[in-house]
Structure 1
Amino acid sequence: MFRVDPHVKLLGERVAERAKRRGLDALVYAPHFTRLPEIRARARRFSDEDLVVVPGREVFTGTWRNRRHVLMLGLSEPVPDFITLRGAMAELRRQDGVGLVPHPEFATVSLSTDEIQRHREGLHAVETYNPKHRRQHNDRARAIARETGLPAFGSSYAHLRGTVGEVWTEVDAPLRGRESIVQAFREGTDRRVFHRDGPAHALRRHVEFAHLGYENTWQKLDRVFLSGAEPTHPHNVAYEGRFDDVAVY
């Protein structure tokens, strides 16, 4: 069995060491508002024979008040934030990337069941366990996976180092390297979702949930509305105007 945490937001020496101590074979590193070349470089830096780090992008589609997140793997070219969901999914399909559904129907940032069905062709799995979820959210996520027929995955969704290794997805295949991990999600390779339990895990969940309030207020308001120079803004010069027709800002 190959253990992967398919969604973490931070990466460094201590994160990599913690992942190894927790028995993980791989992480998917997908920080917010960071361009793909930078993510790739950092993923390479912290990959070694004991831990594979896969670069990913959790793309913010739609406006700030009506945004939908899509976790993208296997991209060949950068995709910006704040473009329409339709535009993002069209680009994902053009690149033959892998689309994962993080925290479905959670708060105001997640794909609904109808949206998943509408873009089913480009989506490959639904997250059924996320530490930021309450029990009813995880129950609903499992129901969504059944209703849509998509395979499940679970991730730590770690925004804080201590959450790395709290949740993982075991893939029933001897994976080797980034490409094989992406391909396993693309092909729907058999997998199971596991998470730690007990008081320590409950505490980590509460801490991550508390962080959610900060993350979605002043921290991002400052970056989105005050700085005006996000590297993943669709009008950034790096995208050469390719996404101007689907930009929402």
Structure 2
Amino acid sequence: MFAVDLHTHTRFFHGFPSRPTPFDPVGARLVTAVARARGLDGVAFTNHDYYEPVSPVDGVTTIPGIEVSSTRGHVLVVGPDPPTVTRVDALDPLAVVELAHERDCAAIIAHPYRNSSVREVDAPFDAIEINGKHPRTSEWVEILADEHDLPTVGGSDAHYPFEVGRAYTAVDADRLTPESVVAAIRDGRVEPRVTDWLPHRLLRRVYRSVHTEKGDLDRPDWLTPGVGPPPGEQ
């Protein structure tokens, strides 16, 4: 069993909508250093709309990845051969999934209840993420995953190195490689984990306030008064 953070970034800001966030090699080294210190076996670098190879680091396997800004929200593409660059709002979610599968990668719905309607799209995703910024949505994500018969994974969505590992994925595999991670996701041999470290809990409150103020946080329709619970939850 391996502990892998499937959603990390090398910079703490997103850059401009018209172009990807620049790659930061220092940030990448810091992310892997923190991952190693926290006992993680691997991290996926999923910068917004571009993929930059990262040299292997002793003790930490780096998994190639990209966070694609689709027309309906963000989709993580992780595996041996993610696309090098994508344009913001250029691909619909189905096209992202098809691109991921063509390149032997897994397509994961990222933070499905934050500024996203990807969860409403009928496409053959491989998993749904429990996001480290908003683990309070975990129950919603699990219900969504059950409805679509998909596994759940965990990712910190770290933009600062100290956030690495606040959520991660337990991967059941004999060896840790990009290919084995994809296979484990597709086979359901994965399990999300969320840490309960006090600084992480406090930071989540900050993120919740910020994203609430920005109007980025969604909630399931069945939580709306008068709509009622989802099927099977009556």
**Structure 1 and Structure 2 fold alike (TM over 0.5):** yes
TM-score by length of 1: 0.69
Q: Indicate if the aligned counterparts of 1:9 and 1:29 stay in contact, CA closer than 8 A.
A: yes
Tell me what 1:111 maps to.
118
1:6, CA displacement in angstroms? 0.5
Higher relative helix content: 1
Let me know the Cα RMSD of the aligned residues.
2.6
Q: Separation in 1 of the partners of 2:190 and 2:105? A: 20
Cα distance per residue 1:105-129 (max 9 Å; x no partner): x1332412x31xx102xx11111x3
1:77, CA displacement in angstroms? 4.0
Within 5 Å, give how 1:6-17 maps onto structure 2: 6-10=6-10, 11-17=27-33
Tell me what 2:65 maps to.
56
Q: Give the match's secondary structure for 1:100.
A: strand
Q: What amino acid is aligned across from residue 98 of structure 1 in structure 2?
A: A
Q: Indicate if the aligned counterparts of 1:103 and 1:110 stay in contact, CA closer than 8 A.
A: no
Q: Indicate if the aligned counterparts of 2:2 and 2:176 stay in contact, CA closer than 8 A.
A: no
Distance change (3 Å), C-alpha of 1:159 and 1:216? farther
Unaligned runs of 5+ in 1: 218-249
Tell me what 2:13 maps to.
none
Q: Give the match's secondary structure for 1:184.
A: helix
Tell me what 2:148 maps to.
148
Q: Separation in 2 of the partners of 1:30 and 1:56? A: 5
Q: Separation in 2 of the partners of 1:181 and 1:94? A: 16
Using the aligned pairs only, state the percent identity. 29
Question: Residue 18 in 1 paired to residue 34 in 2?
Answer: yes
Question: Residue 69 in 1 paired to residue 74 in 2?
Answer: yes
Q: Separation in 2 of the partners of 1:55 and 1:216? A: 31
2:127 alignment partner, one of 122, 125, 134:
125
Tell me what 2:19 maps to.
none
Q: Separation in 1 of the partners of 2:202 and 2:104? A: 39
Q: Give the match's secondary structure for 1:88.
A: helix
Q: Indicate if the aligned counterparts of 2:96 and 2:107 stay in contact, CA closer than 8 A.
A: no
Distance change (3 Å), C-alpha of 1:216 and 1:15? farther
Unaligned runs of 5+ in 2: 11-26, 217-234
Tell me what 2:45 maps to.
29
Tell me what 2:22 maps to.
none
Aligned residue-pair number: 197
Q: What amino acid is aligned across from residue 118 of structure 2 in structure 1?
A: L
